Structure 1
């Protein structure tokens, strides 16, 4: 995973967006596919550092401005686009800064966050156009990623929750498939991709996995992010039993991924995120109980 220096960012700004080049530039911790800096008071710079990241940035650049106006929470809307040049061979983005602490550092504690999340997803989950991006691992029938679940479950082998996790997954796979039109999805709602202020949800970030499909993928956030789920589904109001079952299956899978990536971080392995492990265990506990 590549790491870039501030000097490169400053040079790119002078080359392509000179009116912003003298703003204060500060490193920001975190980031998976993109490295990020805060630019001045209101902006951020995102530069791709994994092989797949440039394509994800192009999705954000094209589609997030289309959706952002109807979303009730702040999002990192692209305001300038950086194009490949002799200095840097990939696209990069200047976005609006979203204020708050990532939820893997400052978990959501207020129960009224359920209404915030439900309102955001109700606004997002509208029918997507035919040209909306597809995603091979988001918004699809869970049976298509059965092998991925079996592999992910090994991270909690021997844990008392393993049996319940498998049961929830099997019920999710067996539930009737989504019958509605593909809706817009964030696709990657987990603690590092939302921000918190005063214990509640204050913004949603990192839309690179945005796609069209089954809204159950995003509804898994009820278990992944919130201290309790009951108020969320009352507020969302549009999820039938089958959709909730699929969403809970997605929640178990996403929790296992968080635990795995977090454990890698605790062990000092490349790409690991230590703060994700406790977030993953908390999500798993909520999903299986």
Structure 2
């Protein structure tokens, strides 16, 4: 998926665990299938999971999660990852890594939600709780800055998609949505706490209801529009309206949120269309959902 990916095998993970956490040596190790682009995930025994960065850029996320997740957890009703062990570089592996408590559940799939309206309310509740947090010294969210900072990469992706007609993207239509988002007034309130990467792969559900939110590598302070991603990457139209109403989202923030979600999809589709089916599939869904709003 990316240049500079670190290669893994089960034996490397066993050696890392045994060398640094002897009490867990001998537990079963099994790589988990994942559409994620930054980390490899390994089930460790029945109750834990090992998360290791695939690329150098993910190494900083590990340290940030180790610092902030224990501080966020008491302030959230929804379960989030619990760090059980902080691993260090060893055995030829160059970056820090983590062991977390296993969180049960399934990733929701757009178009196959059993309780979309209830899930929309659950997601809105999580986003609202994140926004209410007032912990000092928070980092800036990875995607929390001005929308205009995404303009060059978004326009480049649109032009790249013009050269891939088999994807069937109406590039003039998505460009018009992007222009509308750029014209929306910017956020003039204080920055709020964000997860900033609410993709379906970072959500866990059981019985159609949200049980956990994972992968906080993009978290921090920023524009509240950044946590509106589920409106278009997951929820059908009726549940999308429930999500918006529950959060009380004004028109400008909604337009910025739609633009941010669309931008991510436009950039992801040409990049991942041959290498990451899950990411490409979700990008196509977002583009259809956004254009379907009219």
TM bucket normalised to smaller: 0.7 to 0.9
Partner of residue 137 from structure 2, selected from 113, 131, 138: 131
Q: Which moved more, 1:82-91 or 1:51-60?
A: 82-91
The CA distance in 2 between the partners of 1:99 and 1:155, in whole Å, is 39
- Report if aligned partners of 1:99, 1:195 keep a CA contact under 8 Å in 2: yes
Equivalent residue for 2:146, pick from 132, 141, 148? 141
Alpha-carbon contact 1:107-1:196 (below 8 Å) kept: no
Q: Is the CA contact 2:18–2:25 (under 8 Å) kept in the aligned structure 1? A: yes
SS for the counterpart of 1:178 is coil
Write 1 or 2 for the structure with the bigger share of helix: 2
Judging changes above 3 Å, is the alpha-carbon distance between structure 1 residues 193 and 258 closer, same or farther for their aligned structure 2 residues? farther
1:185 is matched with 194
1:37 aligns with 2:47: no
RMSD: 2.2
Check if 1:68 corresponds to 2:78: no
Alignment of 1:1-289 (within 5 A): 1-30=5-34, 31-85=36-90, 88-103=93-108, 107-111=112-116, 112-126=118-132, 129=135, 131-135=137-141, 138-157=143-162, 159=168, 161-228=170-237, 229-237=240-248, 239-264=249-274, 272-288=275-291, 289=293
SS at match of 1:257: helix
Secondary structure of residue in 2 paired with 1:134: coil
For residues 3 and 160 of structure 1, what CA distance do their matches in structure 2 show?
34
SS in 1 for 2:277: coil
Find the aligned partners of 1:161 and 1:201 in 2 and give their Cα distance: 33
Gap runs ≥5 in structure 2: none
How far off its partner does 1:16 sit? 1.5
* Range moving further from structure 2, 159-168 or 102-111: 102-111
- Relative distance call for 1:106 and 1:113 in structure 2 (3 A) is same
How much does 1:122 deviate? 0.6
CA displacement, residues 243-284 of structure 1 (integer Å, 9 cap, x when unaligned) = 1111111121122234234412xxxxxxx2112222222222
For residues 32 and 217 of structure 1, do their structure 2 counterparts lie closer, same or farther at Cα, with a shift above 3 Å needed? same
Distance verdict in 2 for CA 1:254–1:104, change over 3 Å: farther
Separation of aligned partners in 1, 2:212 and 2:268: 20
**Closer, same or farther: CA 277–36 of 1 in aligned 2, 3 Å:** same
Query: Matches of 1:160 and 1:16 in 2, distance apart?
Result: 49
**Distance in 1 of aligned mates of 2:268 and 2:209:** 21
Report if the CA contact (8 A) 1:217-1:250 is conserved.
yes
Q: Aligned-pair distance for 1:208?
A: 0.9
**Segment drifting more, 29-38 vs 54-63:** 29-38
3-state SS of the aligned residue for 1:95?
Answer: strand
CA contact (8 A) 1:261 1:274 kept: no
TM-score by length of 1: 0.88
**Judging changes above 3 Å, is the alpha-carbon distance between structure 1 residues 73 and 130 closer, same or farther for their aligned structure 2 residues?**
closer
Secondary structure at the aligned position of 2:273 is classed as helix
Q: Distance in 2 between matches of 1:284 and 1:227?
A: 13
